[in-house]
Amino acid sequence: MKRLSSKEIPVTETLETPKEELTTGSTFAERYQIIEELGKGGMGKVYKVLDKEVNAKIALKLIRPEIAADKKTIERFRNELKIARDISHKNICRMYDLNKEEGSYYITMEYVEGQDLKSLIRQTGQLAIPTTISIAKQVCEGLSEAHKLGTVHRDLKPSNIMINKKGNARIMDFGIARSITGKGITGAGVMVGTPEYMSPEQAEVKEVDQRSDIYSLGVILYEMVTGRVPFEGETPLGIAMKHKSEVPQNPKEINAQIPDDISRQILKCMEKNKEERYQSAAEVLSELIRIEEGIPSTEKVVPKREPKTVKIGEIKWKSLILYGGAVVLLILLIVGGIFLFINRQSPIESIAVLPLKNLSGDSEHEYFADGVTEALITELSKIGALRVISRQSVMRYKGSDKPLPEIARELSVDAVVEGSVLRAGERVRITAQLIRAVPERHLWADNYDRDLDDILILSSEVAQIIAREIQVTLTPEEQTRLASVRPVNPEAYELYVKGQYHYFKWKKEGFEKAIEYFQKAIEADPNYAQAYALLADSFCWLRYLGYLSLKEAYSRFNPALKKALELDDTLPEACLTLAEIRFYIDWDWVGAETEYKRTLELNPNFAWAHAKYAYYLTAMGRSADAIAEAKRALRLDPLSYPANRAFCWVHIVARQYDQAIAQYQQIAELEPKNPRAYNGLASVYEQMGMYEGAVKARQKAMSLSGAKPEEIEALGSAFRESGPNGYWMWRLERLKGQYARNPTSAAENYAQLGDKDQAFAWLEKAYKEHVGPMVTLKVDPAWDPLRSDPRFQDLLRRMNFPD
């Protein structure tokens, strides 16, 4: 028998059979543990899974084999997903990746807990008008953001909108529909869109744009208020053709309780000619807000009653008086009720001062407008009954054109203050207006022309006017504090706000520049308490960051702080700096808490003080109190990194790692180009022993910081070759230049490597210098490898930590 050469031996290909479903409890792609099936649709089944690599729950959509078999479809979807992943909005579910495993394509995306809108409609039959408007507004906001980025949904429907227990809406599956091809809407092809919700142009297989999504939104609105879709049929083709040719029944004919404005809006969304529809989601949102403002609490259809016929001669005067009096009383009750309804508003308990606009025409005066914004926030913050959002969060809206209701919702406030500042020589004009957020309504507006030296007095006056307008009762102490503001030296004030501008950059260079301006402000006005307070705090920051020795720091901040307190011992900023010195430098645990509490008595809305007090409580081992305080800080400063980071830290110490991870992920969404959230995530993964996640997070942070590709790869190589030890060796080498000013970093790395002698050598250096991070020695999980060593217990004893 002739033997075949290797070239003649036929090759047998191993064909992978794509999966059509996944089993609960199994692990898919060696990474995703299947928790439960969430549902199925045209593309395939969706599962809730645990991503074991990052220890987070996500959604996984397993694509049907017949769809996945079309390579062009998959490639189109891959390209579309690149765009969809750029959409970051609170009303849109985030898309992650398209991958292939065991012959099956699958999509990973954010998991949104709740129920889909379709299920909600089935449960209730018809949604209440306020509920409908609330959901529709959120969908409009999500669509508006996606449309700005050039992405059209193409398959918007109630089953693609998730509603959580709080009524928050999230749009699902952005970027999927466009990638699915078909040869029509019958047969084996897969159609683009769902017949009940598709626009006429989709039915005709024409090019679509954002107005197609608006048509689908109109159908969804129709279904929410009537409990049924406008067009039904026996086949998908029949339904689609009705969208193209038939006029929908007026929804008010189905549900008489629907306001006329809502009916008109729905029908305008569903115009056959897309030129006659609303042209953007923002237009629909604006109309929804207008309609919402005009809807009464109830709109009842009162049955008509047949009038009783009475002969004139039968009417008795007594009866006439009784009936007439009853009618008059009824009219008075109705009018009174209407009056009470119109004037009844939920109390305003929270407020945000948006960045005041600089009208000077000179960009160099931006710092001045920011300073006036800060002054107004400071004065309002003295009112304990009012929750006032901090500067850090509101400054994110500088130059923003977001609608006020959206800003209010993001900051969770009842009202906002907005306005402008015009600086002309030694005169300043401030225009301010108070606006209730939902429904949007102007409550008060005024403008003021003052000399520059009255700027702080004016801020106090405006704060008191706002308190009066929203009917907040001031305590005698608050009245005294608001009335105690004094005139300022114009030159000193200008230098002070310039220093503030640099101080809030929270960087070494910023603090150094701030110090220069605060010192010049003090030269111009030797009695300027606020300038002394922030000067002292700037030196404290440089000390905490390791740029000043202990001896040098004392010589710098002590005189400034002492002077600030001599001039004004009720200044919250000065009291907070004193608390920080007691805590981080003196290790005076009792004295520190006294000063933190004093600070918060003087300014209950001081977000940074709440955050720092949370750090103190954590260091003392009082995790429950620390978490509560961190939550208060976050409510006052929801968009700033310091408040978010404090929230993460207290949960790390409490070993509640899931909450810390979730919060760091939110920070990453808030600041997608900032590396610090990813460094924070890496630190959590380190404590959990999830080094693959730590490596990826560090690499992401390095990439955002501009590290070279070979530097990023070096971390991956170190971990692949030597595991966790390789990871810590890499960190030890990379951070070596920072150890002199922050010896606790060196100690932590050596502790993780098991080199206890080196770890304690560096801890002794940190102890002698009273380095800031030493205050967390008792509770930080990073020190767990050293806790059983007698030397560690001796350190705790010498630092006099409370039991």
Q: Which one of 110, 142, 169 terminates a domain?
A: 110
pLDDT tens digits along 643-676: 999 999 999 999 998 888 888 988 888 888 889 8
Q: Are residues 470 and 413 in the same domain?
A: yes
Q: Which one of 110, 143, 171 terminates a domain?
A: 110
pLDDT category of residue 297 using cuts at 50, 70 and 90: very low
Q: Are residues 128 and 257 in the same domain?
A: yes
Q: Are residues 166 and 180 in the same domain?
A: yes
Q: Tell me the CA distances in angstroms from 629 to 131, 612, 644, 653, 764, one per residue in order.
A: 33, 9, 12, 14, 31
48, 57 contact by CB (below 8 A): yes
Spot the catalytic one: 51, 155, 173, 370.
155
pLDDT category of residue 309 using cuts at 50, 70 and 90: very low
Nearest to 84 by CA among 172, 169, 22, 8: 172
248, 222 contact by CB (below 8 A): yes
Q: What are the structure tokens assigned to 158, written together? A: 């109630």
CATH number at residue 479: 3.40.50.10610
Q: Does 140 fall in a domain? A: yes
CA distance 202 to 195: 9
User: What is the structure's pLDDT at 17?
Assistant: 59
Q: Are residues 100 and 139 in the same domain?
A: no
Evaluate if pTM is beyond 0.85: no
Q: Are residues 119 and 106 in the same domain?
A: no
DSSP letters, 187-203, are TTS--SS-GGG--HHHH
CA distance 584 to 576: 12
Strand partners, 57: 50
Q: Does 713 fall in a domain? A: no
Domains of the chain: total = 4
CA distance 469 to 137: 29
155 is catalytic: yes
Q: Are residues 751 and 791 in the same domain?
A: yes
CA distance 529 to 532: 5
Q: Does 307 fall in a domain? A: no
CA distance 281 to 90: 16
Query: Judging by DSSP bridges, how do beta strands 441-451 and 427-436 pair with one another?
Result: antiparallel
Q: Does 218 fall in a domain? A: yes
User: Would you give the distance in Å from CA 182 to the centre of its chain?
Assistant: 39
Phi/psi at 49 (nearest 5 deg)? Answer: -135, 160
CA distance 575 to 592: 10
Q: Tell me the CA distances in angstroms from 266 to 127, 130, 269, 276, one per residue in order.
A: 15, 15, 5, 13
Q: Does 99 fall in a domain? A: yes
Handedness of CA 752, 756, 762, 764 (dihedral sign): positive
Q: Does 599 fall in a domain? A: no
Cis ω on the peptide bond leading into residue 347 (within 30° of 0)?
no
Q: Are residues 160 and 289 in the same domain?
A: yes
Enumerate residues 6+ apart whose C-beta is below 8 A from 592.
579, 580, 582, 583, 586, 616
pLDDT of 528 strictly over 80 = yes
CA distance 101 to 26: 14
pLDDT category of residue 341 using cuts at 50, 70 and 90: very low
251, 266 contact by CB (below 8 A): yes
Query: Judging by DSSP bridges, how do beta strands 350-353 and 415-424 pair with one another?
Result: parallel
Higher pLDDT, 17 or 798: 798
Phi/psi at 280 (nearest 5 deg)? Answer: -155, 160
230, 248 contact by CB (below 8 A): yes
Q: Are residues 269 and 195 in the same domain?
A: yes
pLDDT of 302 strictly over 60 = no
Q: Are residues 132 and 280 in the same domain?
A: yes
User: What is the structure's pLDDT at 229?
Assistant: 94
CA distance 9 to 5: 6
Q: Does 519 fall in a domain? A: no
CATH number at residue 42: 3.30.200.20
Strand partners, 105: 100
Residue with tokens 């640099």: 502
Provide, rounded to the nearest whole percent, the portion of the chain with pLDDT above 90: 33
Which domain, by its residues, includes 38? 27-66+94-110
Q: Tell me the CA distances in angstroms from 513 to 350, 366, 494, 501, 654, one per residue in order.
A: 34, 17, 14, 10, 37
Q: Are residues 144 and 286 in the same domain?
A: yes
CATH number at residue 227: 1.10.510.10
CA distance 97 to 110: 10
Q: Are residues 176 and 262 in the same domain?
A: yes
Q: Are residues 128 and 45 in the same domain?
A: no
Highest mean pLDDT among 43-47, 64-68, 132-136: 132-136
Higher pLDDT, 499 or 439: 499
CA distance 207 to 209: 7
pLDDT tens digits along 388-405: 888 888 888 888 878 888
Q: Which one of 48, 77, 110 terminates a domain?
A: 110
pLDDT of 241 strictly over 60 = yes
Is residue 110 helix, strand or coil? strand
Q: Does 255 fall in a domain? A: yes
